[in-house]
Structure 1
Amino acid sequence: MSVRFNHTIVAAKDKVRSANFLAELLGLPEPQPLGHFLVVKLSDGATIDYIQTTDDFVGQHYAFLVSEDVFDSLIDKIRSRGIEHWADPRGHRRGEINTNDGGRGVYFQDPSGHYMEALTVPYGGW
């Protein structure tokens, strides 16, 4: 039996704002409601299901493997909108991207404080 990732639930202070932020930056389809969730569908069929909460939560890390053209578009949007971003997970290389493993990568936060990462080559290379 194979195993594939299907979905995860992400807590959000404002699920509409967070879901639209991610979908728009990554060039994904408009988020769709599903019960209590607002669902962002990724290219491989997996989904990020945003749920609104007033509870306190710790920001989580979500990493996305993206194509070169999606990365180019993402970086253009991040820079043109003045979204803070880093080349490293600790935020020491502010305003930069990395070239780890022969690809490119960037870290940024979503409106709810989750740490998003986009990379063009998986860790360890292909």
Structure 2
Amino acid sequence: MAELNHTIVHSHDKRAGAAYLAEILDLKAPASFGPFLAVEVGGVTLDYAQFGGDVASQHYAFLVTDDEFDAAFARIVARGQTYWAGPGHQGENAINTHDGGRGLYFDDPSGHVMEILTVPYGG
């Protein structure tokens, strides 16, 4: 059975992007791997790469426990960062309750749309 091992995340500033994600999700500090800064998330590595041109916004969703959600949410709020209930920036500073869980979207330093959710879609 195949499983996702890693993906490359283009970033205006790979150090800022990798450190940001690690901080918000309370993960191990990013590790250098060749030209990348790698952030390990649940067995998959997000390899942040410096990219000089326009960075196309991507979406990354992270399934978290209720306690992890509360902690990440507190870090987002402490930064004074805007978050949304929907992926297209709908419902500013609101949390959604899809499928009986909680979820929210927030932008990383390069404009990628990050999501944390406590229940997978479809329940």
Q: Report the alpha carbon displacement of residue 57 of structure 1 after superposing the two structures with TM.
A: 2.3
The aligned residue for residue 37 of structure 2 is: 38
What is the alpha-carbon root mean square deviation over aligned residues?
A: 0.8
2:68 to 48, 67, 70: 70
CA distance in 2, matches of 1:3, 1:100: 29
Q: CA deviation at 1:73?
A: 0.3
| Residues 7-46 of structure 1 aligned to structure 2 (within 5 Å) | 7-42=6-41, 44-46=42-44
Aligned partners of 1:17, 1:41: CA distance in 2, in Å?
16
SS of 1:85's equivalent? coil
TM-score normalised to structure 2 length: 0.97
The one-character-per-residue Cα deviations of 1:15-70 (angstroms, maximum 9, x if unpaired) are 0000000001001000000000000011x211100000102121111111111111
TM-score (norm 1): 0.95
Distance 1:5 1:45 in 2: 8
- The whole-number CA distance in structure 2 between the counterparts of 1:57 and 1:40 is 19
The share of aligned pairs that are identical, in percent, is 52
Find runs of 4+ consecutive structure 1 residues off by over 6 angstroms. none
Structure 2: runs of 5 or more not aligned: none
Rounded Cα–Cα distance in structure 2 between residues aligned with 1:70 and 1:93: 22
Q: Which residue of 1 aligns with 2:118?
A: 120
AA matched with 1:10: V
Task: For 2:2 and 2:102, locate their aligned partners in 1 and report how far apart those are by CA, in whole Å.
Answer: 27
Aligned length: 123
Aligned-partner residue type, residue 41 of structure 1: E
Alignment partner, residue 97 of structure 1: 95
Query: What secondary structure is seen at the aligned counterpart in 2 of 1:24?
Result: helix
**In 2, distance between residues paired with 1:11 and 1:91?**
21
